[in-house]
Structure 1
Amino acid sequence: MRLQGHKLIEAEPQLCYRLLTDPQVLVRTMPGLKKMEPLGDNKYTAEMEMGVAAIRGRYQGTMSIEDPVEGASYRLMMDGQGPGGFVSVNMQVKFEPQDQGTDVVYEGDAKVGGTVAGVGQRMLSGVANFIMNQFFTKVGQEAKKAQEG
């Protein structure tokens, strides 16, 4: 499944980068992300609660931030397994300065297998877009708080 989009956040690229690579901020903003524990070298264990309709479950896995260029870009890698199957994400994130803030551009692939994949590509794509919109709305709120504080 292809994941791609962008969101304008009213903040400088360095702040956006810092927020989107901070495990505490990610736990507060990413729907379903319950816990992240550091393993070192920008790698974390992660616990997520995900699902569609009646197919829900807790997924355990790893998240890593690779090829980081502070304020400019990084690659997010995620792998997880749970009762409904597995999920694997490989996504490039770029921070493009704009007059009103930063356009956060993301593009990558997600692989889903097991029972949850049986829900269908179209429904999973819709859910993924909904989650990304919720996530970036919350990140925008975090950026606003960081600039006010």
Structure 2
Amino acid sequence: MDLKGEYRLAAPRQAVWEALNDPQVLRACIPGCTELERIDATHMTATVVTKIGPVKATFAGEVRLENIQPPERYTITGEGKGGIAGFAKGGADVHLAEDGEGTVLSYDVKAQVGGKIAQLGSRLVDSTARKLAEQFFACLAARFDEAPDQVAPPPA
């Protein structure tokens, strides 16, 4: 699964960078995230409960930050296991560009799922991933007291 998009956030790039590196902000904004704990500067553990179609699963796993170039970009990678529901693994390249007083956040996600979740079909998995991304960015934008201004919609 590939997912790309851009969002304009009403905050300076440094503030967006800090939010994207704050475990409390991430825990609050990642849909279904029940735990997110920083292990060190580049590693976190996470627990996320999500439902894709008829399958509800609790994923536990690790998150790593790589290719870190503050406050411009990083790559976030991770893998989570959801028991009999399956697994999810992948990564996202995140780039922040100054845009006047705001910031344009662009992302490029590549992910794989396996197990029962993969049997649901790519259309359902992709649409759920897009919905979860929308929820994340709406929450992140709300942190800056503005709704997200979507620059380019994710491909259908």
TM-score bracket relative to the smaller structure: over 0.9
| 1:122 positional shift | 1.1
| Residue pairs, 1:1-149, within 5 angstroms | 1-83=1-83, 84-99=85-100, 101-144=102-145
- Tell me how far apart the structure 1 counterparts of residues 128 and 134 of structure 2 sit (CA, whole Å): 10
CA distance in 2, matches of 1:77, 1:106: 13
Deviation at 1:53, TM superposition (A): 2.2
Contact persistence 1:89–1:108 (CA under 8 A):
yes
Gaps of 5+ in 1: none
Name the Cα RMSD after superposition: 1.3
- Separation in 2 of the partners of 1:7 and 1:101? 10
Does the Cα contact within 8 Å between 1:21 and 1:65 map onto a contact in 2? no
Distance 1:78 1:51 in 2: 19
Find the aligned partners of 1:107 and 1:2 in 2 and give their Cα distance: 7
Runs (4 or more) in structure 1 with deviation over 4 Å come to none
* Structure (1 or 2) with the greater helix fraction: 1
TM-score (norm 1): 0.92
Query: Which amino acid in structure 2 is aligned with residue 127 of structure 1?
Result: T
Q: Give the count of matched residue pairs.
A: 145
TM-score normalised per structure 2: 0.88
Q: Structure 1 residues 101, 51: CA separation in 2 closer, same or farther (over 3 Å shift)?
A: same
SS in 2 for 1:95: strand
